Amino acid sequence: MKIKSKKILAIPKGRIKKEIILLIESLGMKPESDFYKDTSRKLLFTTNIKNFFLTKVRNFDVPTIVAFGGADLGIVGSDILMEVDYEELYTPLDLNIGNCSLVLAKQKEKENVFESSSSRIKIATKYPLATQRFFEEKGTQIECIKLNGAIEIAPKLGIAEMIVDLVSTGKTLKENNLEIVEKIADISSKLIVNRVSLKTQSDDLNTIVKFFERKNND
């Protein structure tokens, strides 16, 4: 792959980082050694592809950094894309990694509160926009309690009746005595591109998109 001018790909530090590393390595990309060191304070990393750089950021920051031109491309879960609304983002490719589900869950011994309560239900989640949209489509009023982690503990602490969170194997739910009530969405990781960059530097960016398309064609 030949890139004419400097291009930056933003990748998340979170749950899908290992899958992303396996993906880029399988495609022949080799980041510099500091990229693999959790102790490294570097923010921008070279690769064996001339003019192609990687940056590692918080997963919720990936769409913002790409939308505002800090990076030309990014890899991010569709769960996070459900929480943002940037017209500057174009999503050309589903990378089919980081697959899981966004679900509504409750404590096993509790009744389904939507069937037993007429009051507004409290739901703990780090996905308030996706959660609100889901229940608005059902015509159900809820109150979202925004948490950034340890979502599963919220019902046990009494701050919410139910939760909306990501589930892969279901092990964490089981360990916290929770069960799935309903699946909200299937989640996977997407390649996103800055629309302005795509218009002004289409040759390089289309080359990179085709580079990642090889994964889907394997």
pLDDT tens track for 94-135: 999 999 999 999 999 887 766 655 578 899 999 999 999 999
**Residues 45 and 83 reside in one and the same domain:** yes
**Residues 106 and 173 reside in one and the same domain:** yes
Residue 107's CB: how many other CB atoms inside 10 A? Answer: 17
**Residues 59 and 165 reside in one and the same domain:** no
Residue 1 covered by a domain: no
Q: Given a cut of 70, is residue 216 above it in pLDDT?
A: no
Show the CA angle centred on residue 111, arms to residues 107 and 116, nearest 5°. Answer: 140
Mean pLDDT of the chain: 92
**Residues 148 and 171 reside in one and the same domain:** yes
Query: Using one digit for the tens of pLDDT, what is the confidence trace for 176-207?
Result: 999 999 999 999 999 999 999 999 999 999 99
Residue among 170, 163, 157 at smallest CA distance from 128:
163
Residue 2 covered by a domain: no
**Residues 207 and 169 reside in one and the same domain:** no
Residues 6+ apart with CB under 8 A from 198: 90, 205, 206
Burial level of 83, CB count in 10 A (0-12/13-18/19+)?
A: middle
Give the CATH number of the domain where residue 138 resides: 3.40.190.10
Residue 202 covered by a domain: yes
d(CA 41, CA 157): 37
**Residues 84 and 157 reside in one and the same domain:** no
Query: Using one digit for the tens of pLDDT, what is the confidence trace for 25-50?
Result: 998 999 999 999 888 889 999 999 99
d(CA 193, CA 210): 13
Q: Which residue range is the domain that position 83 belongs to?
A: 7-98+188-217
**Residues 157 and 206 reside in one and the same domain:** no
14 band by pLDDT with thresholds 50, 70 and 90: confident
Both tokens of 68, joined, read 């505002």
Residue 133 covered by a domain: yes
**Residues 83 and 31 reside in one and the same domain:** yes
- Residue 1, pLDDT score: 83
Both tokens of 30, joined, read 């080799």
Residue 68 covered by a domain: yes
**Residues 93 and 105 reside in one and the same domain:** no
Asked whether 53 and 162 are in contact (CB, 8 A), the reply is no
Calculate what percentage of the chain has a pLDDT beyond 70: 95
d(CA 58, CA 76): 10
**Residues 133 and 213 reside in one and the same domain:** no
**Residues 88 and 167 reside in one and the same domain:** no
Residue 148 covered by a domain: yes
Phi, psi of 180 (to 5 degrees): -75, 130
Alpha-carbon dihedral angle through residues 98, 100, 102, 104, given to the nearest 10 degrees: -150
Number of domains comprising the chain: 2
**Residues 13 and 79 reside in one and the same domain:** yes
- Residue 117, pLDDT score: 57
